[in-house]
Every structure is written in C-alpha cells, then in structure tokens.
A = this chain, B = another copy of it.
Amino acid sequence: MLVRHHFLSLDPYMRGRMNDTKSYTAAQPLGEVMGGGTVGEVVESRSPRFQPGDKVVGMGGWQQYSVVNAEQPGALRKVDTTHVPLSHYLGAVGMPGVTAWYGLVKIIEPQAGQTVTVSAATGAVGSAFAALAKARGCRVVGIAGGPEKCKYGVDELGFDACIDYKLHENAASLSKALKEACPQGIDGHFENVGGMVLDAVLTRMNAFGRIALCGMIAGYDGQPMPMAYPALILTNRLKIQGFIVSEHMEVWPEALKELGTLVATGKLRPRETVAQGLEAAPEAFLGLLKGKNFGKQLVKLI
C-alpha cells in the first residue's frame, strides 16, 4: 500500500532514540527516516483489506508518504473518523491516550475518592489521564508549566487543581503547593518529567501509594537527575513502576474503546498544537521538549 500522511506525531520518547545508549528501543539509525507515528489515508492498495481512501494510523515516520506491507501484523490500523477527528488517533485515542490508561488502570489502580496527580498535565498524556481519572471518581491534580496551561487544565480538562511548577524554585516549595492542592495526600502519581517534580510528589505520597513512571523528560539531555529521598519509598511502602506502552499491546483495544468514547461524548477535549510542514518538525520537536507546545504536538504534512 501507498499511504499519504496527513499528520506526524511528535513525542518525547523520540529524544531518547537520539541517544546512542542502552535503552528500551534501539537508537535511531543515522541516514534512515526518523521514526514516528502518523495518520493518513490509503492512496494505492494491493491488499483486499484496505481500499484507497481508508483512514489509517501507523508508524510512517518523518515523511509525507510511506509504502507499507499490509500483511505485517500491526503495521496499519484502520480508524473511524465519524466521531473522532483523524489527528486524535495520534493523541487521546492513540499511543499517548493508551499510555495514560495503562499507567492509571494497571499501575496506579485508583479507587474512587483517592487523589491522583500527573506531571506535564496538559500534554497529550496528561489530558487523557485527567479524563480517565475523573471517570473513576478520583480527585485529579495536575502539574504544568505556566498560568495559561494551568487555567486550561482546570477549565477545559477537568483537573480539580493544577499547579504551576514554574512558580517553585525547589522541591520543598513545590511540595507545599502539593499539600494545599492535595489535602488528603497523594495516592497515585503519573510521572512524565522526573527531577524536582518527582522529588516533591514523593514527599506527599500516602502509604501504599503507586507511581507510574512513564517519562523523565527533565533528564533527556543527559544531565544528572538523582532522586533526593528514595527512603520515602520504604517508609511509605510505595510502588514505583516504569513502563513502556508498546510492550502492553494486549490492553490497547480496551483502552482505545474507552478513550474513543470519552472523546466522542465530549468528556475529553484534547487541544493540539500543529506545526505546518515537515520542515517545521525539528523546531516543533525542540519546543515540545521545552514545554512550548499546548496539548498534543502534531505536524501537518499534507
């Protein structure tokens, strides 16, 4: 099949692939097309399972077209754009949404009435996390950068409170803000950032709290990023678990179904930042790593 890409997804994990170090995926090979999630439509097909015009999501990479073997399992997935815009299949109803779902449902396992928190709260993962946690009766508190994002988190995404980490110079100060926003303590936390944010959250975790460790964007450029108080894991009998959503394909159908319903019913209204054209992708990607995007960062390709 020949697939024309409408949107390319930009995601923090791509930064890790640019380091030539041992990690959960191989480093991005030099001289090859940079990998990445794409949504688009089938232009030509020799497979009876796909017709020209079909809307599809796949890993087409940083390019406008890709040639895909339809028989390769999982290479492409047909999607329905009746109630969900095509681009959302790269965000809330795609990998970032399932990432939030896995961390919340499989690691944090919250009960109604518990308090959960998430960093990078207004990004693609954080937005989905808020809707999923509210649907489970939790108090949800976000941590984001800047007053505009925090206001958006509360007004549009359903966070009960959202803390601007940029107002805090150190973990002790952020910890005080968390205490105010989480008067019952924190039962579950979804970490996308690491560093000062994780240190502060650890000081507010309740006994038997769970932390889903999904990203540590604060350390992606190689700077040292120690955890200040690991003894709190013991004294509060915490569980901290790292995960990669692509290793848990078994949950995707259930997760995508819930996320699609949340979007279709207006309970999850994710915002997008769209860069125009492939030539704008590198700068948009650097901006994403600095938190300049608002919601899901996409590149419009065609």
Contact = CB atoms under 8 A, between A and B. Distances in A.
A198 B241 CA distance: 16
Q: How large is the interface on A (under 10, 10 to 19, 20 to 34, 35 or more residues)?
A: 20 to 34
A224 B235 contact: no
Interface of A: 16, 22-24, 194, 198, 207, 213-216, 219, 224-231, 233-244, 247
Contacts of A225: 230-231
A239 B237 contact: no
A295 to B, nearest CB: 23
A238 B237 contact: no
A188 B117 CA distance: 29
B237 A22 contact: no
A236 B227 contact: no
A242 B247 contact: no
A24 B235 contact: yes
A7 B238 CA distance: 33
B24 A207 contact: yes
A16 to B, nearest CB: 8
A235 B22 contact: yes
